[in-house]
Structure 1
Amino acid sequence: MFTGMLSNCTVSNLARAEHWYARLFNRAPDQRPMDGLLEWHLAPGFGVQVFAEPERAGHSTLVLEVADLDAQAARLLDSGIGHHGPQPGGGARILQLEDPDGNRVVLASPLAGLSR
């Protein structure tokens, strides 16, 4: 049985990505396990890695469930992360974001059947 998950986004410039993801997660990375890798631990057994791998940068997608999508949308605008606002998508409401390399980051309201 699976007990955890680390998703991964590949980026071309780690310093630029760190600035963007720190604004997304509203804090600095939790860990730097090795050169070129940042980690945010979002809940027990659940996190996001941002890895400097320029040849693969920009082809990742993250979908993260959030409790209050409207509050997150407002906070992100205040932090300088632009977007077009929440919209319907996949049986939920979603907020589509793009990091500086073009990786897709989607915030979603609680998804029916997936929330605990």
Structure 2
Amino acid sequence: MIYEMTVQVRVTDFEEGKRWYETLLNRVPDFVPHEGFAEWELVPGCWLQLAEGEPSKGSGPIRLGVNYIEAEQERMMKELNVEAFEIRSRAEVPVRWASFQDPWGNQIGFFEYKDEEEKQGKIKEVLGKRD
């Protein structure tokens, strides 16, 4: 049985990377066990680890579910100087999505449910709230 997961990204400058990811995630890490390593619990049981080291080429993207993808796109461009990126959509896919890179080449992205009711259901499910 799988009950938790971690995903790790590596950056060559840990302090700069930590600041960048704090801005991306709008908060400080939940756990910093030692120098050169930090973790954020993004949703219950799902951790993003930031480690000092050489980034993995060609992996990802790690996409994060958001309420309003355009607002996050604007925030990334303004606060983190991310280049403009395209928001994509296909009729048969229930989400819109976009990808961009952090300054170390790690692939990051966002997705947003097209249907508000479906999105609210997913949020309740993740937070453990049942009707």
TM-score after normalising by structure 1? 0.80
SS at match of 2:80: coil
Which structure dedicates a bigger proportion of its chain to helix?
2
Q: Which gives a bigger RCO, structure 1 or 2 (Cα 8 Å, sep 6+)?
A: 1
RMSD: 2.5
Moved more, 34-43 or 90-99: 90-99
The answer to whether structure 1 residue 101 and structure 2 residue 104 are counterparts is yes
**Sequence identity (%):** 25
* Structure 1 ranges of 4+ moved more than 4 A: none
Task: Report the counterpart of residue 28 of structure 1 in structure 2.
Answer: 28
Unaligned residue ranges in structure 1 (runs of 5+): none
Taking the aligned partners of 2:85 and 2:10, their CA distance within structure 1 comes to 25
Alpha-carbon shift at residue 89 of structure 1 (Å): 5.0
Unaligned residue ranges in structure 2 (runs of 5+): 126-131
Residues matched between the structures, number: 114
Alpha-carbon shift at residue 22 of structure 1 (Å): 0.9
Q: Which has the larger radius of gyration?
A: 2
Which structure dedicates a bigger proportion of its chain to strand?
1
